[in-house]
Structure 1
Amino acid sequence: MKFIHLGDLHLGKSLGDFDLIQDQKYILNEILELIDKENVDALLMAGDIYDKAVPSEAATNLLDWFLSRLSEKKISTYIISGNHDSDDRLNFGSSLFSSNSIYISAIFDGKLHKQTLKKETEIANIYLLPFVKASQVKHYYPEAKIETYDDAVRTIIDNSEIDEQECNILVAHQFVAGKGDDPALGGSESAGTQSVGLVEKISYDCFDKFDYVALGHIHSPQRVGRDEVRYSGSLLKYSLSEANNEKSVPIITVNGKEKVKIELVPLKPMREMRHIRGNIKDLLAKENVKSPEDFIYATLTDEDIVNDAMGIFQQIYPNTVKIDYDNSHTRQIEQVDISRIAENKSFSELIGDFYRMVYGCEISEEEMEIMRMAAREAGVANETN
């Protein structure tokens, strides 16, 4: 019995000013082709289906298109909500969907819901655990000692009837850590995920009763603690920090209680995200320009600021997302002790020092007045000199 494990689709997400709906449809179509090629029986979708609690029309249309194609292919599909999803919106129509073998668990109601998939003599139990907080679980189990997310998830599992003699798969959307190791972040996760504390962490051994655990929440594909507890990662690179990461999708083969087989299939996006570095003349020389439709993050090594660098770049690479600099001026700034810069200095002195450090000359009075006006409008400075 074969499963594909997806997580963190974030349908409707953008990259800077660039809409990603077409990129998302392209990669979902790759998944549909992979389902046909590998004779996949079921799909596990581990939360953060949408990027926002109130998804755009384009995002909902894209999910509708994808689920319709899955239904046409008779693929059993198991979906949970993530922290980005609106439980009610994702859960809408779940009863109707289930008649087409699309099972959605978006609202935690005190139970760990189970669906059973049968193929000839094989049986697999799929348990669906939507994103939960400790306070939600405590509401249903007031007598239990629940202080952390780990306590909460263990309470849910302990109060579920799980036959360990059968093949059991869990789909969950939580921050799961190994022994002494946190999962490696992709960089495009929410600020809350990137600053998660001890209270929110769940130990991977919480899931010992399960043969495979399909996780969502972290955008970098990886195992946690053991091979069978795994983040699929996001299908696309949603942050510039992911430019050098490789995306893949796990294909899971189960056969009763035999060891689970996991194959990671690389994904090729419609437009790659690349980080290029050098002086602007070399980077944009005809012989060096490759795949101009890619998303580009450029680090310029020119010593002088290039006027309208973004406009120049986007003539060649129309999907340039960001440009920054790495030169003697920026390296000098990096070595400055920020904590001492503002000691006993006025706003004008600070701006003057910064301008001098970057450009090697004095700021004009006209430019200084513009900076004062901007600071006053932003509410960060009240002085006039």
Structure 2
Amino acid sequence: MRFFHLSDLHLGKRLHEYSLREDQADILEKILEAVRRERPDAVLLSGDLYDKTMPSAESVQLLNLFLEGLAAEHCPVLAIYGNHDSPERTAYGSGLFRKARIYVSPVFDGIVRYVTLEDSFGAVDFYLLPFLKPATVRSFFPDAAIESYTDAVRTVLEATRRTADPTHRKVLLAHQFVTGALRSDSEETVVGGLDNVDASVFEGFDYVALGHIHRPQSTGSERIRYSGSPLKYSFSESEQEKSISLVTLGEQQADGMAAFKVEELPLTPLHELRCLRGSYEELTARSFYAPLNLEDYYRITLTDESDVPGALQRLRTIYHNLMELAYDNRRTRARMALGQQSRVESRTPEELFADFFRGQNGREMNPLEQKMLAQALAEREVDA
């Protein structure tokens, strides 16, 4: 059986206040082209379909068009919700979707649903495990000792294995941070890494299709893999190569595990994310910028010792989509060193999140966003 493994579409994502709708529509169409070319037996979407729990109408329309395109190719779709998704909104209409062979994880109720597909080697059970928090799992397993994310996922999967058919090959869709995975700046993290899950909890699955981390990689085992996001969502990802993970699952071997291999099908974005560094004079020289695609998205770091008046506007006459401008010189390095020296480890979660928000959006939180943050932190204290 051959299937595409994708995750972290983050439809509705904005980067430094730039809308990425055009880029996302383009990459979804390129994925559909790959489906028409490769004819996979299924497409797996491992969470974070949307960037917000309350997606915009444009984001919903984008996902609808993508799913309609997959249905038109008679390609089954298996999807779970991630930490950015609303379980109720993602699962809405799932009964109707099933008629088009689009299978979406329901709101978690203590049971991991699965979908069985067949090939020449027999049955493959695809288990749909949505993003889980310990507090969610405790409510369905009150007698289990659940103190961490690892405990939570292990408890759920142990219950799942007890009813699994040992003659069927098993694929798991999950959306968690597995210990040891390499992160990027665009991923939502829990301070201190308390949200990590040990890879051992996935033992026994022939392939684990992970979402949540945006860099394509295997972690813990070659069978446990992040496909990565189809687009670059931070400048820390500028050197990454985005792709579709094409997984081929063969027959069961003597050890009970299925043979498998993974190929990466490259994805070319509409606009690349590029980081440039140098003096203002260097970066505005025609000989420097002439070979570049000036419609790409840019982060520029100027090394001039003095600020260049009007640099942002002047550079944008050349680099039309300049998203971020920074300086790196003796003055900024001294300021950074002073800031690091004076920073104390007892910074509040509110302050840490405010820094994260400012870096992602280029602005301060408004009063409504501050209120929502306070509510989320209060709920987290209750969950803990």
TM-score w.r.t. the length of structure 2 is 0.84
- Given the alignment, which residue of 172, 183, 186 partners 2:181? 183
Which residue does 2:273 correspond to in 1? 273
Query: Is 1:300 matched with 2:302?
Result: yes
CA distance in 2, matches of 1:204, 1:4: 22
Which residue does 1:15 correspond to in 2? 15
CA distance in 1, matches of 2:174, 2:136: 15
Q: Secondary structure of 1:40's match?
A: coil
Gaps of 5+ in 1: 342-385
Q: Secondary structure of 2:139's match?
A: helix
Which residue does 2:172 correspond to in 1? 170
Question: CA-to-partner distance for each residue in 1:137-165, whole Å, 9 max, x for gaps?
Answer: 11111122222221111111121212333
- What are the equivalent positions in structure 2 for 1:49-64 lying under 5 Å apart? 49-64=49-64
Contact 2:280 2:304 in 1 (8 A): yes
CA distance in 2, matches of 1:337, 1:79: 44
Q: Secondary structure of 2:281's match?
A: helix
- Given the alignment, which residue of 231, 239, 244 partners 1:244? 239
Do the aligned partners of residues 266 and 195 (structure 1) sit closer, same or farther apart at CA in structure 2, a change above 3 Å counting?
A: farther
Q: How many percent of aligned residue pairs carry the same amino acid?
A: 42
CA offset at residue 340 of structure 1? Answer: 5.9
Gaps of 5+ in 2: 253-257, 344-384
CA offset at residue 174 of structure 1? Answer: 0.9
CA offset at residue 22 of structure 1? Answer: 0.8
Aligned partner letter, 2:332: T
Question: CA-to-partner distance for each residue in 1:17-39, whole Å, 9 max, x for gaps?
Answer: 21001101111111111112222
CA offset at residue 256 of structure 1? Answer: 2.5
CA offset at residue 246 of structure 1? Answer: 2.1
- Given the alignment, which residue of 321, 328, 331 partners 2:330? 328
Do the aligned partners of residues 158 and 334 (structure 1) sit closer, same or farther apart at CA in structure 2, a change above 3 Å counting?
A: closer
Do the aligned partners of residues 306 and 337 (structure 1) sit closer, same or farther apart at CA in structure 2, a change above 3 Å counting?
A: closer
Which residue does 1:145 correspond to in 2? 145
CA distance in 1, matches of 2:177, 2:340: 33
CA offset at residue 127 of structure 1? Answer: 0.2
Contact 2:46 2:80 in 1 (8 A): yes
CA distance in 1, matches of 2:47, 2:192: 18
Do the aligned partners of residues 140 and 51 (structure 1) sit closer, same or farther apart at CA in structure 2, a change above 3 Å counting?
A: same
Query: Is 1:224 matched with 2:222?
Result: no
Contact 1:94 1:103 in 2 (8 A): yes
- Give the stretch that moved more between structures: 124-133 or 325-334: 325-334
CA distance in 2, matches of 1:140, 1:108: 9
Aligned partner letter, 2:317: Q
How large is the Cα RMSD of the aligned pairs? 1.8
Aligned partner letter, 2:56: S
Query: Is 1:213 matched with 2:211?
Result: no
- What are the equivalent positions in structure 2 for 1:1-385 lying under 5 Å apart? 1-160=1-160, 161-177=163-179, 182-190=180-188, 193=189, 195-198=191-194, 200-257=195-252, 258-289=258-289, 290-336=292-338, 339=341
CA distance in 2, matches of 1:230, 1:340: 40
CA offset at residue 338 of structure 1? Answer: 5.2
Q: Secondary structure of 1:256's match?
A: strand
Aligned partner letter, 2:319: Y
Do the aligned partners of residues 196 and 28 (structure 1) sit closer, same or farther apart at CA in structure 2, a change above 3 Å counting?
A: farther
Question: CA-to-partner distance for each residue in 1:301-355, whole Å, 9 max, x for gaps?
Answer: 12221111111111111111111112232233344475469xxxxxxxxxxxxxx
Aligned partner letter, 2:84: H
Aligned partner letter, 1:166: H
- Give the stretch that moved more between structures: 12-21 or 143-152: 143-152
Do the aligned partners of residues 337 and 89 (structure 1) sit closer, same or farther apart at CA in structure 2, a change above 3 Å counting?
A: closer
Contact 1:271 1:293 in 2 (8 A): yes
CA distance in 2, matches of 1:293, 1:266: 21
- Give the stretch that moved more between structures: 87-96 or 248-257: 248-257
Aligned partner letter, 1:211: D
Do the aligned partners of residues 195 and 265 (structure 1) sit closer, same or farther apart at CA in structure 2, a change above 3 Å counting?
A: farther
CA offset at residue 93 of structure 1? Answer: 0.5
Aligned partner letter, 1:287: S
Q: Secondary structure of 2:84's match?
A: coil
CA distance in 2, matches of 1:188, 1:235: 13
Do the aligned partners of residues 229 and 121 (structure 1) sit closer, same or farther apart at CA in structure 2, a change above 3 Å counting?
A: closer
Aligned length: 335
Q: Secondary structure of 1:316's match?
A: coil
Do the aligned partners of residues 308 and 35 (structure 1) sit closer, same or farther apart at CA in structure 2, a change above 3 Å counting?
A: same
CA offset at residue 176 of structure 1? Answer: 1.3
Question: CA-to-partner distance for each residue in 1:272-317, whole Å, 9 max, x for gaps?
Answer: 0000111122212222221011000001112221111111111111
Contact 1:122 1:255 in 2 (8 A): no
Which residue does 2:348 correspond to in 1? none
Contact 1:162 1:209 in 2 (8 A): no
Q: Secondary structure of 1:287's match?
A: helix
